[in-house]
Amino acid sequence: MTFDDLYQEIILDHYKHPRNFADLSGLSDVHENPTCGDSLKLAVVVSDDGVVESIRFDGSGCAISMASASMMTEQLSGKRIEEALAMVGEFIGVMRGEKDVSELERHGDIAALGGVIQFPLRIKCATLAWHAFEKSVEKDHADR
Ligand code: ZN
């Protein structure tokens, strides 16, 4: 098994067995990547003292978008909101080519998405869930 195959395995595993996947059909906010047809909903719970308690997602789309959403929920749960948003910035920065892809290596499964930057059309698939997290958190703050 080559390095690339291993990464492929990790992405497929998240795609086939998405973590924190839930029925969120009751939510109205949909995040979409129309160029690929990816669509997802996100339910983020932040505690009063600013810790991301849980992130659940629902949706459908390509393997990259769903695997990235699954990894995002695992990666950001339990972090302080500032840390979670910093991680989002780091991930999106790597996907945009503004940060070195090696930045992802210390974040476990997410490193598997590093290969996506070689396929510019798929970058929005990978960043969809991360942008959705940002928007969800900002919206919650605005509601207060
Ligand atoms: Zn996609």
pLDDT digits (tens, 9 = 90+) for 12-48: 999 999 999 999 999 999 999 999 999 999 999 999 9
CA 33 / ligand 1 centre spacing (Å): 7
What are the tokens at 62?
Answer: 């390509």
Long-range contacts of 115-118 (CB under 8 A, 24+ apart): 115/4, 115/7, 116/64
Phi and psi for 119 in degrees, rounded to 5? -125, 85
CA 39 / ligand 1 centre spacing (Å): 9
CA 126 / ligand 1 centre spacing (Å): 7
Query: What is the distance between the alpha carbons of residues 63 and 124, in angstroms, rounded to a whole number?
Result: 12
CA 26 / ligand 1 centre spacing (Å): 23
- pLDDT grade for 51, boundaries at 50, 70 and 90: very high
CA 49 / ligand 1 centre spacing (Å): 35
